Structure 1
Amino acid sequence: MRKSLVILAGLALMAAQAVPVWAAETAAEEKGKAKAVHQGEMVVTATMTEEDINKVPSTTFVVTDQEIKEKAQWSLMDALRDVPGVYIRSNGPFGGVSSLTMRGTQAGQTMLMLDGVRLGDPISTSGSMDMANLLTGGISQIEVVQGPQSTLYGSDAMAGVVNIITKRGQGAPSGWASAGYGSYGTWQGTAGTQGKIDRFNFMLSGGGISTDGVSKVKDGSEDDPYSAYQLNGRFGFDVNDNTEVFFIGYYNKADTDYDGYVNGKYADTADNVKTESYTGIVGLTNSPLAWWNHKLTFSYGSVDHDYSDDSTYKSYLTTAQWRHNLLYKDINTVTLGVNWQQEQGEYSTTWDSLGQQSVDTLSFYLQDQLKVLEGLYLLGGVRNDHHDDFGGHTTWRVGASYSLAATGTTFKGTYGTGFKAPSLYQLYSPYGDKDLDPEKSKGWDLGVVQLLWNKRIELGLTYFNIQTDDLITFDMNTWTYQNLDEVKSQGLEFYAKAHLLSWLAVDFSWTYTDAQDQSTDKDLAYNPRDKGTLGVRLPLFGDRLNIRVWGLYVGDRYTDAANTGEVDSYITVNAAATYKLTKWLSVYGNVVNLFDEDYVEIADYSTLGLSGFIGLRAEF
């Protein structure tokens, strides 16, 4: 691993030294001025209103469609791996069960959303959706908001939210298509179209991947094939200048071979699961008055797992939301709304089953944003959720940011409470307990963002502290779910972005996390204390050639609550390049695990070694 770190640093230095030679060849085309890192990037997830990313009190990171395309990342999980404070692990590559944790919290405590609407799998153990099969086609950007967000989004948002924002058709109709081949017999392709015709806007994207795969278990010899296909779309119609009706949806189908547990150890088996999921959202946005706008949405989604041993798991999630924004000049924005959701699920296996269960939650929320002084931004909100089983639960949040334009400095901080209701599985399965309490959290963070060198450098530092009470865990002694007393997570996040030259951009991040069970003083399983990222972007020859190199460091992790097992730290380095052959045709490729690091994310499960992919992309 140390060798990989040295090579990574050397690679960045060599790139910086070599590029001026290439850049000199196109000096007539290059003006040599780097763009500002911070150019007023706007986000919507942190407050449910459009705001400058550096002014919202909650720490927010954005993964853009450009970054996804330049890195040739087909998987949503891969697109999120480098986000500061986010840790992802999988039970093997190519469709292995995956989990996302944020700031040392647990899987299932971060809400996944599609355009502000929750995506979930209510019959899963945590109630959250496994993101392993979700593809990146049709995405405009992904917004990651950290810290308790239950005030706006309710249960499951106690650690933060990940919001996938779908592309909206605009301009003259256009299209794109790509196809390529890579290691492990992997085929991957995408195609789509978007645009606006009169009052009708549209975006339709489809993609898929098929691979011979690798063994899911570390010491396996049998490859586990995998395939996944996805369709995304957004269609809107402007009824008038103030009103749009729209439909947003996705459909995903995956076929995954995996390895099981035989005679006390993981081994090659012929296990398989077929997964089908979809969500459809219909809605209306309307601005009847200059000081009032509102949005009404209805959604329905389903997740269906069919296993080779005839086990089946089926779940359904239905939601309705009505949100209003009341504005007073540029000083005050009041957001209020009502949200209803119904979770349904059932399963059947060879050893037990659960008939369809259902639970409803009705929620009301209120938020006020104030901008009373130059540079000062204040926020406060409250929410009440009424759950069928445990009744009402109130959460609240306050936040502030203060920007000094003269120095390019922004101070920000939040304090909020969160909660997570027990899942249907945790309540009603043979291993469940109907008397479980919801998980509750309180968290705060303080941070500073500094812009330097005409906004070409951006630095950020944040301290976070999250305390979770009644954490739901599985007791191996009683084989039932139970509430723990208290879990605490605290740490520091640092990031740096620099557009040093027109042909050189660098980003770096480091997150330190101390997450412990307060009753035992033991670290939480699979929570690395250290995680770091380093990336270099080289747009050359007037952006005709684009090269990216990025590395990920993950520290040691304990594999159990008693801290008796441990997996080693690792560094992976990846690279990608795109070259424009013509105005509309490009060749692209990537290399995964450039230095063939031997590592695991989860004990006994494999990861990808040195591998590559090459393809063609057309835009017309």
Structure 2
Amino acid sequence: MKKLLIIFVLLNLVGLGWLFPKEKANQEKTPKLHHQITVTATRIKTPSRETGASIIILTKEELLQTGEPLLIKALQKTAVVSIIQSGPPGTATSLFLRGSNSEHTLVMIDGVEVNDPISPARSFDLAHLLTQNIERVEILPGPQSTLYGSDALGGVINIITSPGEGSPHLDLSAQIGSWKTNQIHLASAGQWRRLAFSFSLTHFQDEGISAASTAYPGNKEKDGYANLSLSSRLDFTFSPTNKLTLFCRAMKTRTEIDNFGGPYGDDPNNLQKNHHLIARLQWQHFLLASRWEQLLAVNLVVNHRKNNNPSDDLHPDHSEQAYFKSWFLKLDWQHNLYFHPQNTLTFGLDYKKELGLSDYTALSPWGKTISIFPQQQARSWGFYLQDFLRLPPYFFCQVGFRWDHYLHFGSVLTYRLTPTVFWPATQTQLKLSLGSAFKAPSLYQLYAPPSFFGPIGNENLQPEKSRAWEIGLHQYLFKDKTHVGLTFFSQDYENLIQFDFLRGFINTGRARSQGWSIAIKTHLFHHLQLNCNYTHLRARDHQTSQSLLRRPAARLNLGVSYNLKEKLTASLWLNYYGSRWDTDYAHWPPRRVALSAFKLINLHFGYNFWSSCQIFLRLDNLLNEQYELIKGYGTYGFSIYLGIKSKISL
């Protein structure tokens, strides 16, 4: 009853706008919902209404409303995404997009593919990305290899840096809070003649909690985290037909971790350090009276990860040292032909090269273990083609295919079809998407050296593949002030790479992910906005007929945002995770266990003293819910954060 009372009071606080005089409220027009522009869905700027693919967009304003400094926390506000983490900020993170494996989601930053070539399955750890200087995040579930090649087996997440706009200005912010959290942010952006610039520098740090949950014996030591991130974007317009753009993002992190989750998993000096560099140089050129657009880009990603775990009083006979290095280079030449207003043809060529190496040494009472992964590389060439047909306002369709060639397994052909039909009289839209995708074996899966027990790497591996369909019905109501979308989806995976203790990595797995989702967004009142999204998921392993681990069957997000005269802003979020299966390694043999469902309620307040200065308050996990994302690992209880931010014109 006490919890229900707290929820009731908070809902009424957010809804105070209804208590203001009706006469004044009626004088102000209720804003319409914006029809967002996507780049990821088609590789060109496209209104989301004009594509049959599902697309979820988190705008800069929505990221600010959450008040979250870490991007993974903001992504949890979308029900198509489930995120797990092995402890406090900075620890290893996995993302499941509509139930797909973490490595089956291609993560891009400003169009640069950032999945790590030296990680075992070539995934990307989102734990270190901060929300500062992000213009928007585009989430595209389902197979997307037709436009983006390998790794887009289950979907794409594209994180886009804020461009420089308007007169030059300086942004400053700072916050402190629970777990000795502190963050300082400095940014500058604007336009000067032909140059548009955006620059951001952020330092985030907290003391953390024990990564191995304190609910189990032997886990008392806190695991802290520090992150220094730099991002920049420069756009130089030489002429109306020529523009050069440089993106750059660098991260330096320090994470304290534990040996494992569960009883006595604590380790007082297990440390991981990461260095990441992400860069893109792009030239945009228009020909034939701007009917032929060319985008020539060079992408570079460098990753360096180091683990150091010397012996200590709790583990006098154990120590570990390891380092992992990888490089990724991509050349992309994209062409867009706008020869007719009702048809756009997009095609291009790309070349990818990746390298990786690692070294691991461990000491234990059983002796010394050394595992050296010498530098290996993979190269590929790809050609993609997409035709975009427009018959406004009734019909839009994208159809495309892609051909990729890899030196170690040959060629792959993928396709995608995304038609959509719109009825203006009823403001109803029907969306359909069909497609296929693949994922090439990682360097580790191909070339990992054998162990004492047998082989690990397998140079005869073939790519993983998937096929999927989805159908969606969207309704716009109350003069575009409300949007309701219902989507059914199904995706089959085959040739999945799994590890066999006798044969190493082999192509043997099959799985299916299917379900439905509903999203409601309404702006019926001038000061009040409601966001609700729910996903029901059934993800199963075809071989065992068991549910895939750590995927909740039900995910719900409910958000209420309130804005009074640009002075007071408040947002209340309910985040619900349904029950899911995990593995308990504290027992031998390991066994499947069910993790309980849980709900998190977060509240964010902002108050503008002046147009250029705001203080904000964030309350996380208001009900102090005790829960686990991964069996044996800790999560935060009730937390409070206070901050201030200011904008200064230059």
Shorter-chain TM-score: which interval?
A: over 0.9
Residues 73-472 of structure 1: pairs in structure 2 closer than 5 A? 73-219=68-214, 220-261=219-260, 266-289=265-288, 290-308=290-308, 309-350=320-361, 351-372=370-391, 374-430=393-449, 431-472=456-497
- What is aligned with 1:530? 554
Provide the rounded CA distance (Å) in 2 between the counterparts of 1:376 and 1:29: 38
Counterpart contact for 2:497–2:509, Cα < 8 Å: no
- Relative distance call for 1:293 and 1:16 in structure 2 (3 A) is same
Aligned letter for 2:406? H
**CA deviation map 1:409-431 (0-9, x unaligned):** 11001100000011111111132
CA 1:310–1:530: 2 relative to 1, 3 Å: same
Match of 1:40 in 2: 35
Offset from partner CA, 1:518-557 (integer Å, 9 cap, x none): 12211111111111100000101x0211001101111111
Match of 1:18 among 13, 16, 19: 16
- Letter matched to residue 405 of structure 2: H
SS in 2 for 1:152: helix
Query: Which amino acid is the alignment partner of residue 34 of structure 1?
Result: T
In structure 2, how many angstroms separate the alpha carbons of the residues matched to 1:307 and 1:235? Answer: 34
* Distance across 2 between alignment mates of 1:555 and 1:3: 22
**2:577 matched residue in structure 1:** 554
Q: Is the 8 A contact 1:522 1:563 kept in 2?
A: no
d(CA) in 2 for partners of 1:262, 1:7: 35
Q: Do 2:602 and 2:620's aligned partners in 1 also have CA atoms closer than 8 Å?
A: yes
2:315 maps to none
Residue 518 in 1 paired to residue 542 in 2?
Answer: yes
Aligned 8 A contact 1:71 1:577 in 2: no
- Greater Cα shift, 201-210 or 284-293: 284-293
Distance in 1 of aligned mates of 2:5 and 2:41: 38
**Partners of 2:65 and 2:631 in 1: CA distance:** 31
Q: Following TM superposition, by how much is the alpha carbon of 1:329 offset from its aligned partner in structure 2, in angstroms?
A: 2.4
SS at match of 1:310: strand
> What code does the residue aligned with 2:150 have?
S
Q: Is the 8 A contact 2:393 2:424 kept in 1?
A: no
**Alpha-carbon shift at residue 339 of structure 1 (Å):** 1.0
From the superposition, tell whether residues 124 and 32 of structure 1 become closer, same or farther in structure 2 (CA, over 3 Å): same
Under a length normalisation based on structure 1, what TM-score does the superposition of the two structures give? Answer: 0.95
Q: Secondary structure of the equivalent of 2:479?
A: coil
Q: How many residues align?
A: 613
Counterpart AA for 2:574: G
Residues 403-459 of structure 1 show CA distances to partners (whole Å, capped at 9, x for unaligned) of: 111111110011000000111111111322222221100001000111001111100
For the residue of structure 2 that corresponds to 1:261, the secondary structure is: coil
**Cα distance 1:405–1:356, how it changes in 2: closer, same or farther (>3 A)?**
same
* Aligned position for 1:606: 634
Q: Which runs of 5+ in 2 are unaligned?
A: 309-319, 362-369, 450-455, 585-589
Offset from partner CA, 1:235-276 (integer Å, 9 cap, x none): 111110111011101000000001103998523442000101
Per-residue CA deviations over 1:360-382 (Å, capped at 9, x if unaligned) read 11100000011146410111101
Out of 549, 563, 566, the position equivalent to 2:594 is: 566
For the Cα contact (< 8 Å) 1:120–1:317, is it kept in 2?
no
Q: Given the alignment of the two structures, is residue 481 of structure 1 paired with residue 505 of structure 2, yes or no?
A: yes
1:500 aligns with 2:524: yes
**Equivalent residue letter for 1:501:** F
Residues 325, 333 of structure 1: 8 Å contact kept: yes
Q: How much has 1:84 moved relative to structure 2?
A: 2.7
Structure 1 residues 561-570 or 550-559, which shifts more?
561-570
The alpha-carbon distance between structure 1 residues 404 and 253, as it changes in their structure 2 partners (threshold 3 A), is same
Tell me which moved more, 142-151 or 432-441.
432-441
Residues 563 and 469 of structure 1: CA distance in aligned 2, closer, same or farther (over 3 Å): farther
Match of 2:587 in 1: none
- What is the one-letter code of the residue matched to 1:531? R
User: TM-score under structure 2 normalisation?
Assistant: 0.91
Q: Is the 8 A contact 1:180 1:615 kept in 2?
A: yes
Deviation, 1:29, is 8.3
Cα 1:443–1:12 change in 2 (3 A) is farther
Given the superposition, is the C-alpha separation of residues 27 and 177 from structure 1 closer, same or farther in structure 2, using an over 3 Å criterion? Answer: farther
Indicate how the Cα distance of structure 1 residues 569 and 93 shifts in structure 2: closer, same or farther if over 3 A, else same: same
State the secondary structure of the residue aligned to 2:127: helix
The answer to which of 429-438 and 115-124 deviates more is 429-438
Distance 1:370 1:83, change over 3 A: same
Shift of 1:181: 0.8
Q: What CA distance in whole angstroms lies between the structure 2 residues aligned with 1:514 and 1:141?
A: 29
How many percent identity over aligned positions? 30
Shift of 1:41: 1.6
Q: Give CA-to-partner distance per residue, 1:593-613, whole Å, 9 cap, x none.
A: 111000010000011100111
Partner of 2:316: none
d(CA) in 1 for partners of 2:574, 2:262? 38
What is the match of residue 604 of structure 2?
576
Runs of 4+ in 1 over 6 A off after TM superposition: none
Contact 1:85 1:511 in 2 (8 A): yes
The alpha-carbon deviation at position 474 of structure 1 amounts to 2.9
Distance 1:373 1:142, change over 3 A: closer
Q: 1:131 to 1:440 in 2, by over 3 A?
A: same
One-letter identity of the residue aligned with 2:17:
V
CA shift for structure 1 position 560: 4.0
Q: What's the CA shift for 1:513?
A: 0.6
For residues 503 and 264 of structure 1, the distance between their equivalents in structure 2, rounded to whole angstroms, comes to: 49
Quote the Cα distance in structure 2 between the aligned partners of 1:571 and 1:102: 20
Q: Is the 8 A contact 1:32 1:501 kept in 2?
A: no
Residue pair 1:157, 1:419 contacting (<8 A) in 2 also: yes
Is the CA contact (8 Å cut-off) linking 2:14 and 2:560 kept in structure 1? Answer: no
Say whether the 8 Å CA contact 1:221–1:268 is kept in structure 2. Answer: no
Residue-by-residue CA offset, 1:96-152 (whole Å, 9 max, x unaligned):
100111111111111101122211210001212211011122111011111111000
CA distance in 2 between partners of 1:557 and 1:244 (Å): 49
Query: 2:365 maps to which residue?
Result: none
Q: Which runs of 5+ in 1 are unaligned?
A: none
- CA change 1:114–1:7 in 2 (3 A) is farther
Between the aligned partners of 1:484 and 1:240, the Cα distance in structure 2 is 54
What residue identity is the alignment partner of 1:295? Answer: L
